[in-house]
Amino acid sequence: MKISTVCRVLLTLVVMGSLALSSARQAEGSDSVLNVMTINLLFSEVENRDMRLETIADFVENFDEPIDLILLQEVAGGTLFKTVNSALDLKNKLAAKDLNYNLSYRMANGLPGLATVGNAILSRHEILFTMATTLPFESEEIFQGVEIPLKRKAMMSRINVPGFGKINVYNTHLCAYCDPQERLEQTKVLINFVKTVEWLIPGSNPIILGGDFNIPDALIGTGFAPEYDLITGNGFIDSYAAYNECVGNQCCDADDSVITGCTFAVEGNPYAFNLFTGEREEIVRIDYIFLKNGCKIQNSGVIFNLNPFWVSDHSALLTKILLR
């Protein structure tokens, strides 16, 4: 990703301003625990969306610890989707339960006011600034050789964690029904975006990188998942795999009910059907929370993967980390 000289100057001023708000992490003090959740909201289902969002809000309200960060993909908006913004809808449902979150959003596709899809981050803590980059365009085959070009985004929010300091949170959604080489090219731009931002911000910042990566879990560890290898090769740790001590399809074995790491099209999910063919989707693990720089994994598991708690064709991944 290339950032113009003007953008570099503006970003530097923003970063310096945020640094002036408080001292660097080392001077702020103690360790902090964060619970981070990522979930694809399924933009295309409208009829039950309000109920699905209410289920998420109920879970957050009743979870035994605060959920500090919620990374959202397929955030829908516009008259065709009968909402201004589904991430804002979730934020308002949480606020009605006295759970106050800050929201940052970046549109990826669509026509504003009519139909839009994008990514969002909800944070209990202050969002200092947000920036984003556009990933390479790709064409996804949707039905019988029909392809449509789609734009994807990667976004980053700088979060101020009280008593700890600043962390950088990235959220993305890579292409699904595309050529794997196109997904790899998107991953390269994603990693370059992370490197560029981290170069511009002084210090070794704890980094959270999450979202729907659409990387087939069965390929991990076989040498045929170069996108995953590129991410982990740049120092990121797959939080679920590391905590549960599994690799590849060990983390998501559809024939073993003991394995709970599958995040897409889990058996019994009523939404997990191809929109165009009506066929059931393959059960896989494609949603990840990667960690880097001073993030110790305390727990990691999949939620919304049992009847009747379906909130999307995806299940959510929830990882508890210790910032140090």
Domains and CATH numbers, the chain: 31-323 (3.60.10.10)
Which residue stretches of the chain have pLDDT < 50?
1-27
Round to whole Å and give the CA distance between 125 and 197: 20
Q: Categorise residue 185: left if φ over 0, alpha if ψ from -120 to 50, beta otherwise.
A: alpha
The pair of three-digit structure tokens given for residue 289, joined into one six-digit string: 């929370």
pTM here?
A: 0.90
Residue 203 has a pLDDT of 85
The pair of three-digit structure tokens given for residue 181, joined into one six-digit string: 């080489």
Q: How far is CA 219 from CA 215, 227, 248, 292, 306, in A?
A: 8, 10, 6, 23, 25
Alpha-carbon dihedral 259, 74, 280, 284, rounded to 10 degrees: -30
Q: Provide the 3-class DSSP secondary structure of residue 36.
A: strand
Q: Are 122 and 68 within 8 A, CB to CB? A: no
Rounded to 5 degrees, what angle do the CA atoms 263, 297, 69 make? Answer: 65
Q: How far is CA 273 from CA 45, 62, 128, 148, 161, in A?
A: 11, 30, 39, 19, 39
Q: What is the DSSP letter of 273?
A: B
Q: Are 284 and 291 within 8 A, CB to CB? A: no
Residue 21 has a pLDDT of 36
User: What number of residues does the chain have?
Assistant: 324
Positive/negative CA dihedral, 99, 109, 266, 242? negative
Q: What is the DSSP letter of 281?
A: P
Residue 254 has a pLDDT of 65
Round to whole Å and give the CA distance between 134 and 110: 14
Residue 142 has a pLDDT of 60
